[in-house]
Structure formats: structure tokens, C-alpha cells
Structure 1
Amino acid sequence: MTSLPASERLGSHLKRAEQALIATKAAVLKPTGLTVPQYAALLHLAESPGISAAALARLCGVTPPTMNTVLKNLQEHGLIVRTPHEWHRNVLETRLTDEGRTVMADADGRAVRVERALAAEFTDEEREMLVGLLGRCVSLLEEQRPGA
């Protein structure tokens, strides 16, 4: 017997919510041909054109090798272009192509509908409280991480 039942572990509830969100987004993004990580990369590229792969990986919460795979796939589908930085030749800048912007707009509309449906389940006060509570979770967990 464990010292804390699974039903009482907040981490289990957080993981279930994350998995449900990712699965729903994956389903609504399927017609666009994008995976959730590809969509996340395009979303951040739309907001920060020219961002490096390393910075993009941090924003998307994936490892640099994973991000390189995501970017390779997006490039092969003509959704992004990668060019050497003007001053730092070993850094590749990544930008959306016209097709990438079109696919991103479609995918973002689909993802936003999921986000709005989720937000609609809560009152304004509940949403504010949930965001605050999740922020506290993140802060505590980051403080607890060995080596932090």
C-alpha cells in the first residue's frame, strides 16, 4: 500500500487534464496535418519570427533534438524556412512561409475553439483562480527541482 492514494495525488489530476487537452487539440488539428508540437512551434514562430530552434524548444517545453525534428518536418512540408542569422552564421533563424501562415491560421482557429470551450466552463473568477493556483504549482515545483 502506498502512503498516498492516486486519487489524492494532485500530479495525477494535473496529468489527466494535460492529456485530455493534448488529445482534444490533436483531434481538432488532425485536418490541418499538424501535430500539437508542430502547431505549438508555428504559434511561437508567428509571434517571434526569426527565433532560434533552442529558444523555440524552451518555449514549447521540448528538448532541442525534439524541436529539430519538428522543424525538419515543418520545413519538408514548406511551412517554414530556416536561414543563417545575419551576424551569427551558426544560428539558423526560422520563419513561417506564406503556406505556413495559412496553415497556422487554420490550426489556431481550431485550437482557440478548444481553449474557449475550456474557459467557458469556468466563471471569470474561477478562471483567474485556476490560473493563479496553477502558477503556484509551477513555482513550487520549480523550487523543489534538484539543482534549481
Structure 2
Amino acid sequence: MKHIAGYYPKSPSPCLCLNIRRASRAVTEFYEKVLEPSGIKITQYSLLRHLEQVEPVTISDLAKAMRIDRTTLNRNMKPLVEIGLIEVNTGEDPRSRIVMLTEAGKSALSTASTLWDEAQASLQEYLGDTEVEQFKYLISKLEALVQ
């Protein structure tokens, strides 16, 4: 398994929420380590990937597509605007903002995608096909807790 040194099971907490948060941090750290050579964090990769699929798009519609609130999206977009990977322009309505990838953003996303593919394949192999399918089902069920 590329990028995964070994299997070290951790003792779970009786608190499901704590276990989910711990697992989330571990998975985030794993993807961050693999993506490190690209200079893009996993949250930035996710934002760029979503944007690539729906651009040009308003900030509100991008937040909805990503299932995050506008405040979080704006905070996550700021460094990407500052380094020139995305641009935000005024929309047809002067109150709306349209978000688009720049050429530099497309290039950075391409580089990061190769690394993300490696991370994804490693995690898929680590978990196994059956567990991945169970995981997808459970995550969807957990996301449905709130609308």
C-alpha cells in the first residue's frame, strides 16, 4: 500500500462522535501528507475540484454544491485567490460574485489530482472494497442527520 506504513488499530472511544472526529483528522492528515508536494491542502483540492465541475458559479451555488456554508467557503477561497488559483468577479447582478479557476488553478489542480489519485487508491486498498462500500453507506446515513 503506497503511503501507508502499516496497520495499527486504535482503541475506539465509547463516544461515536469522538471516533468519527478522530478518524476524520487521521484521514485528513493522510491526504495532506500525500498532497504536500503539490502545495495544496485537501480542503483546497476539494474546493478546486468542485469548482472545476461547476464553473463559472456563484459563491452561494458553489457552497451549496460543496454542502458547506458560505462563510466557510469564503474563508477557504481567500488563500486561493491570494495565490492566483481562483478569481472572483462581479456577476450579472452586482451583488453576486462569480468564481472561476485561473489557468494557474487548473495547472495546480492537475498536479494535485495525480497525488490525490495515489492517496485515494492507497486508502481504498487499505480499507478493501467491502469496507469502502460499507463506509460510503454509513457516511451517507450520517450526513442525513442534518439537512
User: TM-score, structure 1 length as denominator?
Assistant: 0.78
Q: In structure 2, what is the equivalent of residue 118 of structure 1?
A: 123
- Gapped runs of 5+ residues in structure 2? 1-11
Deviates more, 1:24-33 or 1:106-115: 24-33
d(CA) in 1 for partners of 2:134, 2:75: 37
Over 3 Å counting, the alpha-carbon distance change for 1:58 and 1:7 in structure 2 is same
d(CA) in 1 for partners of 2:51, 2:133: 27
Q: 1:73 aligns with which of 74, 79, 87?
A: 79
Q: CA deviation at 1:95?
A: 0.9
Over 3 Å counting, the alpha-carbon distance change for 1:102 and 1:72 in structure 2 is same
Q: In structure 2, what is the equivalent of residue 26 of structure 1?
A: 32
Q: CA deviation at 1:60?
A: 4.1
Tell which has more relative contact order, 1 or 2 (C-alpha 8 A, sep 6+): 2
Contact 2:54/2:62 (8 A) holds in 1: no
Larger radius of gyration: 1
d(CA) in 1 for partners of 2:127, 2:40: 29
Percent identity over the alignment is 25
Contact 2:63/2:69 (8 A) holds in 1: yes
Over 3 Å counting, the alpha-carbon distance change for 1:29 and 1:71 in structure 2 is same
Q: In structure 2, what is the equivalent of residue 102 of structure 1?
A: 107
User: TM-score, structure 2 length as denominator?
Assistant: 0.78
Q: In structure 2, what is the equivalent of residue 13 of structure 1?
A: 19
